Amino acid sequence: MTPVRWWEYPALVLTAGLTGLWFAIAVRGSADDRGRTRVLGSSLLSALAVGCPICNKIVIGLLGVSGALGLWAPIQPALAVLSLAVLVVAVVLQWRNRTCATDTCAVESAAE
């Protein structure tokens, strides 16, 4: 059994939080799916980064058990950081590009 490393819990919690935040900000029914693809890809990358290196059948098939522990395990923290960076950028861009989906913006702009 491979022990859970200290950084896996915060990476998992931050990934879930940022992914949920992105979907909470996203405008429903929007035709723009570019951000959605980035967020889902980044969440998948985070799952590969946080997952046990010898539990990943794809990595085991490509590298073998010794390769998974010797090659894959050391790059997992970098993958987690990369994934979280992409998620932060996606959330920031989604926040900046959000549009009004309800009549609240019309009320706000009429008050000005």
Going by C-alpha positions, the residue among 50, 37, 43, 45 that lies closest to residue 20 is 43
19-28, 44-53, 71-80: which is most confident: 71-80
Q: Are 25 and 37 in contact (CB under 8 A)?
A: no
pLDDT given at position 30: 59
Q: Is the pTM for the entire model greater than 0.85?
A: no
- Please, how many CA atoms are within 13 Å of residue 48, restricted to the half-sphere of its CB? 17
Which residue has better confidence, 104 or 66? 66
Q: Are 7 and 75 in contact (CB under 8 A)?
A: no
Summarize the confidence of residues 10-36 as an average pLDDT: 81
Q: Are 31 and 58 in contact (CB under 8 A)?
A: no
**Close Cβ partners of 95 (under 8 Å, ≥ 6 residues apart):** 25
Q: How confident is the model at residue 105 (pLDDT cuts 50, 70, 90)?
A: low
Q: Give the tokens for residue 5.
A: 């490393």
Distances (CA, A) of 65 to 1, 53, 79, 110: 12, 8, 19, 64
Q: How confident is the model at residue 10 (pLDDT cuts 50, 70, 90)?
A: very high
Express each pLDDT in 61-101 by its tens digit.
888 888 888 998 899 999 999 999 999 998 988 888 776 55
